[in-house]
Amino acid sequence: MNLYPLKFNPIPKTKLWGGNKLKNVLNKPFSGEHIGESWEISDVKGDETTVAEGAMAGKTLRELIVEFKDEFVGNRVYEEFGTTFPLLIKFIDAKTPLSIQVHPHDEIARELHDSFGKNEMWYIMDADEDAEIIVGFNKQLTQETYIEALDGGSIMDVLNTVKSKSGDAFHIPTGRVHAIGGEFY
């Protein structure tokens, strides 16, 4: 295998909540406003990143895995995922809060979307002074108390809001309610 350090062409994603830090701080070569995400390494159908330079310029992750198999991703990963790359690596610039989300586990994601579940790992590179994230609930809820909070407009009162700062890291497993952004109200 004659691989060299690979650099991929990032894919910009315009989002209502996006800002300009990906262009202005990380010097991403994007145009336009409200760039909320930069997909750095992706095998998501229709959004495959490609090698940026060298002899393999233009090749996708899938093409590299097909060609080099376990030499490229390792034996265990190749045995479990075949030619599908199981990670999406991206930068996020959330100028305003994102919607509150819960991602399904593998079984439901496969059934509904023919995809993997979505565990997330966040590393906070830079955060404004008022930056917060939501990770889970701040107390144990029954289905009944959850629905009461949702229907009664007090759902924010039961969500676990955490101030975030540069250097923080968070694991968000499938099924955990979460959101990222500025100060939540």
pLDDT digits (tens, 9 = 90+) for 7-24: 999 999 999 999 999 999
Neighbour-count burial of 26, counting CB atoms closer than 10 A to its CB (0-12 exposed, 13-18 middle, 19+ buried): middle
Q: What's the pLDDT at 71?
A: 92
Q: What's the pLDDT at 24?
A: 92
- Residue linked to tokens 């990963």: 77
Q: What's the pLDDT at 156?
A: 93
Give me the residues of the chain with pLDDT under 50, please.
Answer: none
Q: Could you state, in order of their start, the residue ranges of all structural domains in the chain?
A: 1-94, 97-185
Q: What's the pLDDT at 1?
A: 59
Residues 52, 4 contacting (CB under 8 angstroms)? no
Closest CA to 4 of 41, 67, 56: 56
- Residue linked to tokens 């995400």: 37
Q: What's the pLDDT at 83?
A: 95
- From the candidate CATH numbers 2.60.40.790, 3.40.720.10, 2.60.120.10, 3.40.30.10, the one assigned to the domain spanning 1-94: 2.60.120.10
CATH 3.40.640.10 at 97-185, yes or no: no
Q: What's the pLDDT at 173?
A: 95
